[in-house]
């Protein structure tokens, strides 16, 4: 049995445009970030069999927004893991 771990980063967020790089600042996706999340969701839906994966996300807005597009395309649920950001 082959196990794979796919790590994704959220799409472009407003704090990145404001010059705040990294950290735990909660910030929403920009319109470009939403488009990036949609493209990622399309790719994952075509590339990864829907029965294979589970989604774990931090509770930051940009991570939740990115995951929502993936969830919509794959029908999967997610597990919020606040410890991802501590």
* pLDDT single digits (tens) 16-72: 888 877 667 788 999 999 999 999 999 888 877 656 667 788 888 999 999 999 889
Is residue 5 assigned to a domain?
Answer: no
pLDDT over threshold 60, residue 1: no
Is residue 59 assigned to a domain?
Answer: yes
Predicted structure pTM score: 0.80
Higher pLDDT pick, 81 / 17:
17
The rounded Cα 31 to chain-centroid distance in angstroms is 15
How confident is residue 86, by pLDDT bands cut at 50, 70 and 90? very low
Question: Which domain does 47 fall in, by range?
Answer: 29-85
How confident is residue 5, by pLDDT bands cut at 50, 70 and 90? confident
Q: How far, in Å, CA of 39 to CA of 3, rounded?
A: 24
Is residue 1 assigned to a domain?
Answer: no
Is residue 78 assigned to a domain?
Answer: yes
The rounded Cα 12 to chain-centroid distance in angstroms is 11
Cβ(11)–Cβ(37) under 8 Å?
yes
């Amino acid at each position: 049995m082959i196990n794979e771990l796919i790590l994704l980063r959220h799409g472009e967020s407003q704090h990145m445009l404001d010059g705040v790089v990294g950290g735990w600042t909660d910030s929403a996706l920009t319109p470009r970030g939403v488009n990036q999340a949609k493209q990622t969701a399309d790719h994952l839906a075509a590339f990864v069999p829907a029965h294979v994966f589970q989604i774990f996300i931090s509770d930051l807005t940009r991570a939740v927004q990115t995951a929502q597009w993936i969830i919509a395309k794959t029908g999967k649920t997610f597990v919020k893991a606040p410890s991802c950001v501590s």
